[in-house]
Amino acid sequence: KTQNSKMASVGRSLFVFLCLLSSEVFVTPEILGELPDDWPPKDEKFKFEADGLYSEDFDLEIGKGLKTFERQLDDVFTCRLAYEIPKGETETWRFTLNTAVDKSSYSCFAERPGPTSSELNFKQFKLSMIGVKEMGYGEAYGDPSKALPEEEYSVDKSKMEVASLPGKFKGHVSRLFAVALLHHPHEEL
């Protein structure tokens, strides 16, 4: 019975994570337990926390100078988005941090939820992973389903960041993604 409850918990977390990933959140009381009648609140940004999963909507700040938004998961892993958008109308973006069930990896997404197009012109961006030993993968997307051309951004595994390249980045980004790997000592069988 304990095994089944662990699997149900993993399944529920995976389901919520995949829904967040697709920017479509389908939450029912059967999945997450009883929710208040006024959920989600109309005057508050989306925010969700569960074991190994954190997701929150935030408004991009517009104006000269570098702006940052960061969150921490499990008191171990921090993901930071640094960006500059000189002018335009603010947009709501979603920040999602997740960990594997065995805590062997962490992932971070910063993205514009939904299929809407954006008129924002980023001057620069950088998604950094802090508190981890190795970056396994990173990518930046211009359109939600199309990666930016490799000449517009870099993935620096030694600095653990995905960043725009000065003079090459054309200003359009809709999603940033990075995965960090944690090293655990191997046990002999």
Q: What is the pLDDT of residues 44-101, one digit of tens each?
A: 788 888 889 999 999 999 998 999 999 999 888 999 999 999 999 899 999 999 998 8
Q: What is the pLDDT of residue 63?
A: 92
Residue 187 reports pLDDT greater than 80: no
Q: What is the pLDDT of residue 12?
A: 46
Q: What is the pLDDT of residue 46?
A: 87
Q: What is the pLDDT of residue 4?
A: 44
5 backbone dihedrals φ, ψ, rounded to 5°: -70, -35
133's CB contacts (< 8 A; 6+ apart) are 180, 181, 182, 183
